[in-house]
Amino acid sequence: MRSFFYGTLWILICLVIIVAPLFVLMIGPIPPGRGFWREFSVGIGFVGLSMMGLQFFLTGRFRHLTSPYGIDVVYHFHRQISTVGFLLILLHPLILFISSPTTLLFLNPVYAPWWMTAGTGGLVALAVLILTSIKRQAWNIRYETWRLTHALLSIGVAALSLIHIEGVGYYVRGPLNRWFWIGLVTAWILSLLYVRILKPVGMWRHPYTVEEVIQERGKTWTLVLRPEGYPGMSFKPGQFAWLKIGKSPFAIREHPFSFSSSAMRRDRIDISIKELGDFTSKIGEVSPGTRAYLDGPYGTFTTDRHTAPGYVFIVGGVGITPVICILRTLADRHEKRPLILFYSNKTWKEMTFREELEGLSGRLNLRVVYTLTDPPKDWEGERGRIDSAMMARYLPENRVECEYFICGPDPLQIAVKKALEELGLPLEKVQSESFNFI
């Protein structure tokens, strides 16, 4: 109930922030003789700009904002609403060009006033920001390069847009209008200061040391981290954190990874990472003694948020990482409720943590169902991808009352959600974790 209350409250606050410029426009002095379409385009532009400014908060990892939904949901929403905001801002000049073709002259910086050129530059920068975000993987843009460019473009778009508004001048003449924009810009700046200064300072004061680097099955490595001079971080089983290794906490290079150690231990944090990209492919080369920093915990993919008579986990590949954290925690808590794990991988050799899962089956009321998509001829377990028929063979009679946790590649998540729907399970009983929200 508390999560629902705060989730609804934040949605209402976001809506108020988005439409607030329209109310300020109506309250303030109205410029004479500008016509409906010009004022309409200005209103749309302000709403779009307010949406874009909201992104400073959505991507700032404010725990009170992300906790009701999960940070992956917030980041997906960030991508969608940014696109909508861009389209609204784009409509601003398009409506002006259609209603008054002479305004096309403002596209020429030789003849246009400086504030009109600033507006054009801001729109171009925003288009580049949106396009590089959508095409980052297709264009093979390194994550660190994209992240730095994304941050600089965001600041540039905001600055050029505000220069444009100030230069036009019509909408900041009244005291209410001016104080509104001063307050909004101040909030954006404070958000940036928190993310880029205050949060790294907190990480700098609570560093970790890489104590050990353990090679696991499936091209996966586990970093064992020890807190330096303080008790460590408390987290819920299944959560994750942003990790920085061997660099200052102010460095731009960081990546989100799930905890794999038991949440019952604060003095040791394990993070298991699979070799998948530029950063992760070199994770096995990290030397013990290297300094590390964590920003977390984040995430709602945890059994602690859902009370049920039993839990079912459906994972594929590296999706086992948050689930092994949950299972280790439940074992340390002496959990007695029935647990089922459907674990899909290409080969038996790549099954990360398979030996430990056998041991956990003795400590927990746990049944592990392995399935291989490329099994050997003598394989006696399940074959192929996880579907409704496979799950129906193992799910208990009270399966509707259980909570379901899905983690793995997007194709697996889509297929499993469809399978669970075929089994008549309500959507509110299904939790999922995505690894590609950045």
Please indicate, yes or no, whether residues 156 and 181 belong to a single structural domain of this protein.
yes
Rg over CA atoms, the chain: 25
Decide: residue 114, CB within 10 A, 0-12 exposed, 13-18 middle, 19+ buried: exposed
What does the pLDDT read at residue 280? 82
Please give the angle made by the CA atoms of 314, 273 and 341, to the nearest 5 degrees. Answer: 15
Please indicate, yes or no, whether residues 166 and 269 belong to a single structural domain of this protein.
no
Percent of the chain with pLDDT strictly greater than 70: 97
Please indicate, yes or no, whether residues 74 and 197 belong to a single structural domain of this protein.
yes
The stretches of 280-384 forming alpha helices (DSSP H) are 320-332, 354-363
Nearest to 45 by CA among 180, 162, 176: 162
What does the pLDDT read at residue 94? 94
pLDDT above 90 for 110: no
Residue 438 lies inside a defined structural domain of this protein: no
Reported as a pLDDT band with limits 50, 70 and 90, residue 33 is: low
Show which of 203, 230, 245 is a domain's final residue: 203
Reported as a pLDDT band with limits 50, 70 and 90, residue 217 is: very high
Give the tokens for residue 416: 């499993």
55: how many CB neighbours lie within 10 A of its CB?
A: 20
What does the pLDDT read at residue 288? 94
Give the tokens for residue 410: 């997007």
Strand ranges, E, within 229-362: 240-245, 255-258, 269-274, 291-298, 311-316, 339-345
What does the pLDDT read at residue 372? 94
Span 137-143, average pLDDT: 85
What does the pLDDT read at residue 42? 87
- Start-to-end CA distance of the chain, whole Å, equals 29
Does residue 47 sit in helix, strand or coil? Answer: helix
Show which of 203, 231, 261 is a domain's final residue: 203
Span 405-429, average pLDDT: 91
Higher per-residue pLDDT: 3 or 356:
356
- Mean confidence (pLDDT) of the chain: 89
What does the pLDDT read at residue 29? 61
Domain extent for 346: 303-433
For the chain, the domain total comes to 3
The stretches of 365-423 forming alpha helices (DSSP H) are 388-392, 410-422
Reported as a pLDDT band with limits 50, 70 and 90, residue 141 is: confident
pLDDT by residue (tens digit) across 36-80?
888 889 889 999 999 998 888 888 888 777 777 778 788 888 889
Please indicate, yes or no, whether residues 326 and 411 belong to a single structural domain of this protein.
yes
Q: Which residues contact 279 (CB under 8 A, 6 or more apart)?
A: 143, 144, 253, 255
Instruction: Give residue for tokens 């091209």.
Output: 219
Please indicate, yes or no, whether residues 314 and 267 belong to a single structural domain of this protein.
no
Span 172-187, average pLDDT: 83
- pTM: predicted TM-score of the whole model, two decimal places: 0.86
Q: How many helices (H) and strands (E) does the chain have?
A: 12, 12
pLDDT by residue (tens digit) across 329-375?
999 999 999 999 999 999 999 999 999 999 999 899 999 999 999 99
Q: Which of these ranges, 147-156, 233-242, 324-333, has the smallest mean pLDDT?
A: 147-156
Residue 198 lies inside a defined structural domain of this protein: yes
What does the pLDDT read at residue 28? 61
pLDDT above 70 for 1: no
Span 235-260, average pLDDT: 90
Cis-peptide into 288, omega within 30 deg: no
Nearest to 263 by CA among 331, 338, 194, 167: 331
Percent of the chain with pLDDT strictly greater than 90: 49
Show which of 151, 169, 203 is a domain's final residue: 203
Higher per-residue pLDDT: 300 or 272:
272
Task: Kindly state the helix (H) or strand (E) to which residue 433 belongs, with its residue range.
Answer: strand 430-433
CATH code at position 314: 3.40.50.80
Nearest to 20 by CA among 133, 141, 249, 179: 179
Reported as a pLDDT band with limits 50, 70 and 90, residue 174 is: confident
Please indicate, yes or no, whether residues 68 and 187 belong to a single structural domain of this protein.
yes
- Taking the C-alpha atoms of residue 109 and residue 154, their distance in angstroms, rounded to an integer, is 22
The torsion angles phi and psi of 52, rounded to 5 degrees, stand at -65, -40
What does the pLDDT read at residue 366? 95
Give the best-scoring range by mean pLDDT among 29-33, 221-225, 424-428. 221-225
Please indicate, yes or no, whether residues 418 and 351 belong to a single structural domain of this protein.
yes
- Taking the C-alpha atoms of residue 206 and residue 432, their distance in angstroms, rounded to an integer, is 30
